[in-house]
Amino acid sequence: MAHSVDPKQTTRAFAYESWMQAPNPMVTFIKTINVTRLVKVSKKQGVKFNMLLDWCIGKAAAPIKEFYVLPVGDELIQYDSIAVNTIVKNKTGEVSSCDILFNEKLKEFNDEYLKYTSEVATTCQDRDLSEDSMVIGTSAIIDTEIDGAVGMNSGIFNNPFIIWGRYKKKFFRYYLTISFQFHHTQMDGAHAGRFLANLQNEINRI
């Protein structure tokens, strides 16, 4: 469920006053992470690399309370759950959007990932969970290697957003550069840094 909260009654009160009306309140961090473990698990178990990374993203965000509060319009919305969005190539060759509710159990998350991305690809209908869950957007540009990316400030969608390209191999390890964009009202740099550290830890232990 989601409901509006009084910003003054949250730890984001100062940030709300400072950044809600800023011309560009979005902040972008770019970081290279070691995804060797994900590549190995993906190949050994026959599961999708992007699914594994999406699950690690949800797992890294789940313990950080700032991820559950998002500026929407002029309001601050409190959520009870997190979802991870993935972009799906549909049957027409275009792209559709698919939200997957984060589940601590990797197998169940994978089952839903496969089910709903397949449905979205076939129907060309977006799956949107933003009414009930705080959605972390992702975009995988796997046709090319990128050194960095900066998302747009649409003024409509303030959700955190992660972009990555193709991972790179260096000696016997694999590395991936990701771009993490977030609204400054939702979180500060320290929270974003904690999330990125969590992400690397979750990848290492998967």
197 belongs to a structural domain: yes
pLDDT for 154: 72
Distance of CA 110 to the CA centre of its chain: 16
Q: Indicate yes or no: pTM above 0.85.
A: yes
What is residue 185's predicted lDDT score, i.e. its pLDDT?
95
Residue 10 lies in a domain: no
| Buried-state track 28-42, b at ≥16 Cβ within 10 A, e below 16 | ebbbebbbbbbbebb
142-197 tens-digit pLDDT: 788 888 788 777 777 899 999 999 999 999 999 999 999 999 999 999 999 999 99
pLDDT of residue 143: 80
Tell me, what's the pLDDT at 12? 92
Q: What is the CATH number of the domain that holds 149?
A: 3.30.559.10
- Give tens-digit pLDDT for 75-132: 999 999 999 999 999 999 999 999 999 999 999 999 999 999 999 999 999 999 999 9
Res 157: pLDDT: 85
The total number of structural domains in the chain stands at: 1
CB contact at 8 A, 101 and 133: yes
In a domain, 7, yes or no: no
Asked whether residue 9 is assigned to any structural domain, the reply reads no
Instruction: Assess if residue 19 is contained within a domain.
Output: no
- The pLDDT of residue 127 is 97
Tell whether 4 is covered by a domain. Answer: no
Domain range enclosing 44: 26-205
| H helix intervals, 46-179 | 49-61, 106-123
For 195-205, the pLDDT digits (tens) are 999 999 999 99
